[in-house]
Amino acid sequence: MHTQTLAQLSKALRDKRISSRELTALLLDRIAAHDDSLNCFITTTPELALEQAAAADARIAAGEATPLTGIPIAHKDIFCTSGVRTSCGSRMLHEFVSPYDATVVARLAAAGTVTLGKTNMDEFAMGSSNETSFYGAVQNPWRSGLVPGGSSGGSAAAVAARLCPAATGTDTGGSIRQPAALTGVTGLKPTYGRVSRYGMIAFASSLDQAGPITRTAQDAALMLAAMSGFDERDSTSLTDPVPDYVGELAQRIDGLRIGVPENFFDAGLDADNAAAVREALAELERLGAKLSAVNLRNVHLSVPAYYVVAPAEASSNLSRFDGIRFGYRSARAGDDLREFYMRNRGEGFGQEVKRRILTGTYVLSAGYYDAYYLQAQKVRRLISDDFAAAFKEVDVIAGPTTPTPAFPIGQKMDDPVQMYLNDIYTIGANLAGLPAMSVPCGFVDDLPVGLQLIAPHRAEGLLLRVAHQFQLATDWHTRQPAAFA
């Protein structure tokens, strides 16, 4: 049963072939059996899960179920969950129990999902390997000793290991798509503003966006439909109505114009990874799509621009973690206010978070603001313009999600620039606010690699449709890591 997709489980629940309580108990057992080795979960919530499952069963019995009613899922530990620890992967919030639910959590709960627990992540979502977590690294289910990617590494690994059919993630520079690619699952970052940011602990507010991590595009459509929509508590949330994502999936993609950014296939891309992506593009062509080259000429500037804008916003967003109202307070914090701040923040935050706070503080400082922050905003505009120009010629852009498959734990921790380059293909969509997905498209040395699809603003429906049609024609997304069969 645990190998079934969300859509299949939804049907099984409504056909009464299994109850939500049985399904929940089964997945809780799998988590208990496997999570010691994987370290996907920071917190499990078995009591809450069984309570929600019982309510879901009642709702199903009453004939009031949505497609998500009774489906057990996991939330990235960046989403505030009322009455449950919300750590954001940090010592700073190790003991923080949120007094409220994030909008994403509340909407999924209202649809009837069951919360199994909170998944591991890079500290404050800052990382591409899940190694910066206060709770330790997550193992890649495909091979122990390798990273699952990050920052939504716990969510991706949990879905890949079939510990849950779906999980929430957040993506600021690739944090849904990159771990999805590295663990062989499907990940969607929606258009900026499509999903409310309320209750999602902010990393870089102008880039952060929540989305689903699932095994199939169809499941992603089901999750996104429940997660998205205008929220009056988020001023940047989109007001347009949510389209029928599931309804659009069945349309074929004959004649669809797909743009291929040739500079995504330069020397930085692993040759075998490139070959797998090329083969996926050929498959899309066989499905009737027309391929053409597009030029995203400024994309090489996306990493440096991102590593100015994101830390700048983060340095300000993380100022509230001062140990006064909530969060870590050092036992050694003395009477002096300056000392108090330095102890709480110095001990509460990890290395990578501190690196980014320092970087962000620097680029916003008097005398450096114009040279860094303003310059990066200009580059951001250029990158957006490149995408806008490309979307005059093509409907969707397709290419690699990551330069390489999963890499060993520890390999890049001492080299932040190498680590940051993991996100070279994904960051552009965040800077431009575009929806983007990663779908499994092959294997290199028995490790999964991802195909990235990028669409114009608000075109999640198109993105999901292309991914679904690709998944109807391929079986990469059905492969599962043998150790977690």
Binding site for another protein (CB under 8 A): 79-80, 86, 88, 93, 96, 98-100, 102, 197-202, 204-206, 232-236, 312-313, 315-316, 318-322, 324-326, 337, 341, 361, 364-366, 369, 373
State the Cα–Cα distance between residues 160 and 447, nearest whole angstrom.
12
Q: Shortest Cβ distance from residue 233 to another protein (Å)? A: 6
Which candidate, 405, 77, 10, 446, places its Cα nearest to that of 226? 10
Q: Shortest Cβ distance from residue 198 to another protein (Å)? A: 5
Question: Residue-wise over 412-427: b if at least 16 C-beta within 10 A, else e?
Answer: bbeebeebbbbbbbbb
How distant is the alpha carbon of residue 317 from its chain centre?
Answer: 20
* 3-class state of residue 257 by DSSP: strand
Structure token pair of residue 137: 């690294």
Contact call for residues 437 and 418 (beta carbons, < 8 A): no
Task: Give the β-pairing of 114-119 and 72-76.
Answer: parallel
How many other CB atoms sit within 10 Å of the CB of residue 206? 17
Catalytic residue among 10, 98, 175, 302: 175
Helical (H) or strand (E) element with 6? helix 6-14
The 3 state secondary structure assigned to 75-128 is: EECCECCCCCECCCCCHHHCCCECCCCCHHHHHHHHHCCEEEEEECCCHHHCCC
290 flagged as catalytic: no
19 flagged as catalytic: no
Contact call for residues 259 and 394 (beta carbons, < 8 A): yes
Residue 261: φ, ψ to 5°: -75, 105
Q: The sheet that has 41-44: what strands, in order across it?
A: 41-44, 114-119, 72-76, 166-170, 210-214, 186-189, 436-444, 447-454, 396-400, 257-261, 290-294
How many other CB atoms sit within 10 Å of the CB of residue 358? 12
Contact call for residues 398 and 293 (beta carbons, < 8 A): no
Catalytic residue among 10, 76, 189, 315: 76
Q: Shortest Cβ distance from residue 21 to another protein (Å)? A: 30
Helical (H) or strand (E) element with 167? strand 166-170
Task: Give the β-pairing of 166-170 and 72-76.
Answer: parallel
* 3-class state of residue 450 by DSSP: strand
82 flagged as catalytic: no
Looking at beta carbons only, is 337 or 389 nearer to another protein?
Answer: 337
Positions annotated as catalytic residues are: 76, 151, 175
